[in-house]
Homo-oligomer: A and B are copies of this chain.
Amino acid sequence: MMDNCTNLGYLLTLSAKLMKYHLMKQLDQENFTVQQWAVIKDLERLEGLGGAENNFMAVSIANRLDMDKPTISGIIKRLLEKGYIEKYPHSTDKRASILKLSAQTKEILPRLEELSDQTVSAAVVDFTEEEISQLTHLLFRMTKNLKEEE
């Protein structure tokens, strides 16, 4: 039982690392990192839903993507520098900013989506639909267990 668990921890870490590395290689073609893509993807989803401006604050993005504030602060800084997102003042909170995707980014989004999908597809190339569902379900439960441990 314990041997299996140790192997599980190692395989989880290794598979996530390999997946991230492959995705990094793909996104690098368009000058994005994996984390930058995750932020872009999150903003796209929220813009599609048309939610309140508070959803576009750095702290909200950080919460949704399970990131630390200094981490999201740095990522946003670099996305602003690259012109991939734009920053607007919050209507009532002077501390906060509202972040939006730039036109340039919206234009390239389908391409990034494609690159991302290719990576995951390559990882499960020989999986059945049921196996993919199973893996997703098991990972979700694991995530839930770990979050409850906090």
Contacts and interface: CB of A to CB of B under 8 A. Distances in A.
Interface string A112-150: 000011011111111101011111101111110111010
Contacts of A133: 4
A16 interface: yes
A15 interface: yes
Nearest to A138: B135
A115 to B, nearest CB: 12
Contacts of A17: 16, 66
Contacts of A5: 117, 120-121, 124, 132
Interface stretch (A6-14, A48-56, A88-96): A6-14
Interface of A is mostly: helix
A27 B142 CA distance: 20
Nearest to A140: B11
A66 to B, nearest CB: 6
Interface of A: 1-2, 4-9, 11-20, 22-23, 66, 116-117, 119-127, 129, 131-136, 138-143, 145-147, 149
